[in-house]
Structure 1
């Protein structure tokens, strides 16, 4: 094959991106700056030292601006010991992926006619991490595992540094070796492609970086962060935990366990099948997830909220309702995709030969799993009470994220199914929340 023919084939396989998401390069720039900034602000804006949120008088204090201009403040964001610990944690996850047994499964068929094989052992990695953590706490006491609380800012900085390094590596390597690019990440604009992700599946041998980051170093670290926050509260209270901390810890551990146990389900989501791996997914997986999703647990480490029986019951009902919707909706979808229909759900045939569910949870809305996921997120914040709005940041942000995902999905389905999608929307008019949205 001549070099010109090879170039032609690559350009056909990797067409130039002609439309932007996230308001294009300007939006990508703002988010690239805004995500790290928000991660830090959630710490400095909700802490025992500053208040949660800080009093307005302290926010307006000119000394804050003076502090931000000092080299000492910026140096305080870096913690060498925390960075080495974070690198050790990431290495632990990589080694666990390599040595722990696990099945290899095929991903979805890509447009180059190939399928990537993924190793499934996130759940065993999670159990190993919990086992090591439990051993440390039992041997040296809960105070030995409060370092994540003590070195919070240093760990945030380390995770952001890892996100930047990986994003630069993946962007640079995407120009070599005839890589398969993401359809949405080949615009030619450096800022936008760096953020959205240029290469679809960056791999080192059989090691797929995108799917690895999706479930291991950030998601499992979230669980360990929560355990560290519970240890901090335990030490401060002299050997007891509040009902609110028990709830948040239980909800989060269950959420993480459910995600890693159902690892094969991620290989059909948009992050894996459609999006490239750039700063958006890197910082989301490695930094945003463990250090913003754990906000409620960090707040409860220093603010000891007691809910009582009635409050506890309400929070549990909201969480279990969300989990029931989330898991049963995903179960219906996975059964149907695998050729099973135990509930005899109705569906619509499309001209593409595929089928769209029109009953069960998927007849109530086009994304019922999003609704269930959001209810669980809301329950985590309800457990912190109503003394501060800051701990409700996550369900507010998460709802915006889910609406954005839904809009992206609808746009792709409009292109994919054409007139059939318009007919389907008449059968299933609600997008996420039945009878409301």
Structure 2
């Protein structure tokens, strides 16, 4: 313990000055609540739940069964799902190591060093898509319904991986010489385990945080959507509804865009300042693939035909959101990389940092979040209005983005001081111009 104390008390690793998420009680609540809510969204919204009524109407029977029937818990353990999931994670690791990719330097760390990142998430995604397509063509659409058929088991497998990584990287963060996250060194086990103690856990040249951010969960999300489409096609004799096609197209475009623009994540708060703990592990590995695919899973057992007019309207909402999301992120990334093709105006802080004040970033401080929200709405609209459950993602995402915006603004206020006040006067809106 003496070595870890020296490391924790070193100037580079000061004790965290404040808590987020309401401190240890909030961290504990989220640590327990995220897995429970993931299961709840399945047990209260499936083909036997009567069309996914609000969970308050269906949660009690599932809870009563969980408390009275030991067999309920065995449903969560599925050896086949565990073996497939852990094989999938191993595939992502092998693909990262084997597939070619450029090495990109991240932002400078507090110790003056730079983290290096291998960029090949897009080729990994294409490889996974190619293999999945070949499998479906060879064995038929009914062969690729196993994510739908073994859903609870896959959720449990992803949760086990999230927990194992949370424990592993928390324990290894006490080795001497580790660079800790400024917000993850509070000394409280519950909070630091959740928020992430070590800033950049690595194994050799593999950066664990960026690897988990895009590969095992994000690509799996797309494969799950395809599995849901295969399940619907199996039920409908090979036919897919326009609503399922829209969801698959929207989410597939978003996922492939994220993989293709992998370097863009290197400027996000997750990579720059958050440690890697249970929060990011469970978010990347469990929440993203198994909650974000809710609309596709719903349409697998509740097919819905929209018609041309409704489909066109939903397409317009999605592409408006995508246009805002992609063009605003391109402006930011070009500017951060020393390019300014649109000749955007900016202010220079006393520290030498530059903050955009025109273009999309002059309309609001987080215009990409507005694009994200419009796309989230478009992903839910194909499910219709029979249940509010399929709009859970929109509500959750709005809360998440507002919380992220506030976290980011707070960090910028501490970093830039009076320059941040000047910037806020020039760009007063947080996400939605003239609204918020």
TM normalised by structure 1 equals 0.96
Contact 2:49 2:58 in 1 (8 A): no
Aligned partners of 1:305, 1:387: CA distance in 2, in Å?
11
Partner of 2:191: 192
Contact 2:169 2:198 in 1 (8 A): yes
Contact 1:219 1:285 in 2 (8 A): yes
After superposition, the Cα gap between the structure-2 partners of 1:73 and 1:363, relative to the gap in structure 1 and judged at 3 Å, is: same
After superposition, the Cα gap between the structure-2 partners of 1:212 and 1:66, relative to the gap in structure 1 and judged at 3 Å, is: closer
Aligned partners of 1:337, 1:325: CA distance in 2, in Å?
18
Partner of 1:47: 46
After superposition, the Cα gap between the structure-2 partners of 1:349 and 1:66, relative to the gap in structure 1 and judged at 3 Å, is: closer
After superposition, the Cα gap between the structure-2 partners of 1:62 and 1:429, relative to the gap in structure 1 and judged at 3 Å, is: closer
Q: Secondary structure at the match of 1:119?
A: strand
After superposition, the Cα gap between the structure-2 partners of 1:320 and 1:194, relative to the gap in structure 1 and judged at 3 Å, is: same
After superposition, the Cα gap between the structure-2 partners of 1:8 and 1:196, relative to the gap in structure 1 and judged at 3 Å, is: closer
1:9-28 aligned at under 5 Å gives the runs: 11-28=10-27
Q: CA deviation at 1:58?
A: 6.5
Aligned partners of 1:9, 1:170: CA distance in 2, in Å?
15
Task: Specify every segment of 5 or more residues in structure 1 that has no aligned partner in the other structure, as ranges.
Answer: none
Residue 103 of structure 1 pairs with residue 102 of structure 2: yes
Q: CA deviation at 1:10?
A: 5.5
Partner of 1:167: 166
Q: CA deviation at 1:64?
A: 5.0
Aligned residue pairs, count? 434
Aligned partners of 1:225, 1:56: CA distance in 2, in Å?
23
Contact 1:52 1:390 in 2 (8 A): no
Aligned partners of 2:170, 2:431: CA distance in 1, in Å?
34
Partner of 1:120: 119
Question: What CA deviation, in whole Å up to 9, does each residue of 1:183-208 have, x standing for no partner?
Answer: 00000000000000000011111111
Q: Which runs of 4+ in 1 moved over 3 A?
A: 6-10, 54-64
Partner of 1:413: 412
After superposition, the Cα gap between the structure-2 partners of 1:423 and 1:326, relative to the gap in structure 1 and judged at 3 Å, is: same
Q: Secondary structure at the match of 1:199?
A: coil
Residue 90 of structure 1 pairs with residue 85 of structure 2: no
1:297-308 aligned at under 5 Å gives the runs: 297-308=296-307
Contact 1:430 1:436 in 2 (8 A): yes
Aligned partners of 2:413, 2:379: CA distance in 1, in Å?
35
Cα RMSD after superposing both structures: 1.7
TM normalised by structure 2 equals 0.97
1:272-421 aligned at under 5 Å gives the runs: 272-421=271-420
Question: What CA deviation, in whole Å up to 9, does each residue of 1:203-237 have, x standing for no partner?
Answer: 11111111100000000000000000000001110
Aligned partners of 1:260, 1:13: CA distance in 2, in Å?
33
